[in-house]
Amino acid sequence: SQTIHQWPATLVQPVGSPLSLECTVEGTSNPNLYWYRQAAGRGLQLLFYSIGIGQISSEVPQNLSASRPQDRQFILSSKKLLLSDSGFYLCAFTRGYYEQYFGPGTRLTVT
Amino acid sequence: AQSVTQLGSHVSVSEGALVLLRCNYSSSVPPYLFWYVQYPNQGLQLLLKYTTGATLVKGINGFEAEFKKSETSFHLTKPSAHMSDAAEYFCAVSGGDYKLSFGAGTTVTVRA
């Protein structure tokens, strides 16, 4: 079966520090991969998506970046965190008729 | 381009009562439609999906939704609410461009 993992589950980081969130998918090959952010009261915001290794599309200009070093690995990074980067970060992959399956999420608090 | 509007950001129902969550979509191509549920501090879980064929689709946890093309709607229902249905629900639409457009979400509370 296909599963998706995210880590860490929670993270508290000071403003200006770097960030690296990791997402891996098991049980499938060449999935489409997605990063979303949920800020309090603001719904789901698509940040990046990837349809293949090295292919990253950015949806929102900001101080975040994404990379896909391996087929089933998707990484979200920042060189310097802002307070506004706080939120719940979700990774997802596509299977079948474009439905997306989500990981458990990472709660990021920037202090 | 496609988009989704969820009517009502909060819905409160009594245990055992009907749950009805409204979703209207806009799409320039035949849509694929989805409902997701999210419990606090968890990822989204797929409840059900409409792709083609039967317009009444059944999902997990007793939920179902009906695709009505003439009304551009995909409302979610459950005949009898349970306390465990308290969560946030998201409607989403895909126009076949690798992305989903999500609604703003509806928070359901269930009164004992």
Residues A6-55 have pLDDT tens digits of 999 999 999 999 999 999 999 988 899 999 999 877 789 999 999 989 89
Q: Which of B49, B99, B104 sits opposite A97 (nearest CB)?
A: B49
B49 CB within 8 Å of a chain A CB: yes
Q: What is the mean pLDDT of residues B42-63?
A: 94
Lowest mean pLDDT segment, chosen from A72-81, A83-92, B48-57, B95-104: B95-104
Name the percent of chain A lying above pLDDT 90.
Answer: 78
pLDDT tens per residue, range B16-41 = 999 999 999 998 888 999 999 999 98
The shortest CB-CB distance from B43 to any of A49, A99, A104 is to: A104
B51, closest residue in chain A (CA to CA): A97
Whole-angstrom CA distances from A34 to A49, A93, B103 are 4, 6, 17
pLDDT of the residue at A61 = 66
Q: Distances from the Cα of A50 to the Cαs of A6, A74, A91, in angstroms?
A: 16, 8, 11
Dist CA A12 CA A26 (whole Å): 27
Closest alpha carbon within chain B to A91: B43
Contact A98 B104 (CB under 8 A): no
- Rounded-to-integer distance, Cα B110 and Cα B108, Å: 7
pLDDT at A97: 57
Nearest to B83 by CA among B13, B11, B10: B13
